Amino acid sequence: MRRNLTKERIKAGKTAYGVFVPMWCPAIIEIIGHIGFDFAIFDAEHGPMGVESCEHMVRAADTVNITPIIRVAVNLQQNILRYLDIGALGVQMPMINTKADAESVVQAVKYRPEGRRGLAAVRAANYGLTGSLADYVREANHETMVAIHVETMQAVDNLKETLTVPGVDVIFIGPTDLSSAMGYPGQVNHPEVQEMIGSLVKEIRAAGKAAGTIAYDLDTLRKCKERGFQYIAYGVGPMIVKSGREYLQVARE
């Protein structure tokens, strides 16, 4: 099984940088891997991709050694299983509001004795053709990564308990949904929203977990680094828009 270099980087106290990819395009995964990003998040929540589409994206990630993480829409064991079996090295689960929600994700991601994921000779296990399944189970439990979202007031209220769940690597603060939950939809830079984000990061880091979030511009990126985020995601859309607009601005002068 391939090493999860993003997980290793975070465990070493460093920051990992990735890109949200909300559309089916293996070539984009290859490009962002060649650029040097650490991970790619295939957005199967807001994006149109299913398991079969994501499998081709995982193959592309394998060729450029970028960590494939899939944002899975529904917190159901058999649903999560299918995305992991194609070779994803982790899942990012939205709308995790309670300790029980977080425990359910970990149980679905990890094999026994750490969880209850179903075992088979799937692509993630090299189809059972190399090594033993027993060895694969140990490797998978070590390499797979769990990121869960905090993006509702219920999740904020229950964060202290959620942080005690073993097996959760990253607590991802979703600023857009959090701003909406706080009564400021779309106003991610509202002072109260920013104050909340700062408070959450401190609590997450104090519990020994890595904090993650989105940074779609350089000012936000700098602030995220100052706050101690270790898992920071850009976006394919903003990347293309920024480059395209700058190009056309010069072209049409």
User: The tokens 């944002």 sit on which residue?
Assistant: 71
Q: Which residue in the list 34, 46, 149, 190 is annotated as catalytic?
A: 46
**46 catalytic per annotation:** yes
Burial 86-109 (b: 16+ CB within 10 A, else e): bbbbbbbbbbbbebebbbbbbbbb
- For residue 146, the 8-state DSSP code is E
Instruction: Give CA torsion, residues 198, 199, 203, 205, to 10 deg.
Output: 10
In whole angstroms, how far apart are CA 223 and each of 23, 88, 212, 229?
28, 30, 13, 9
Asked if omega into 113 is within 30° of 0 (cis), the reply is yes
Catalytic machinery residues = 46
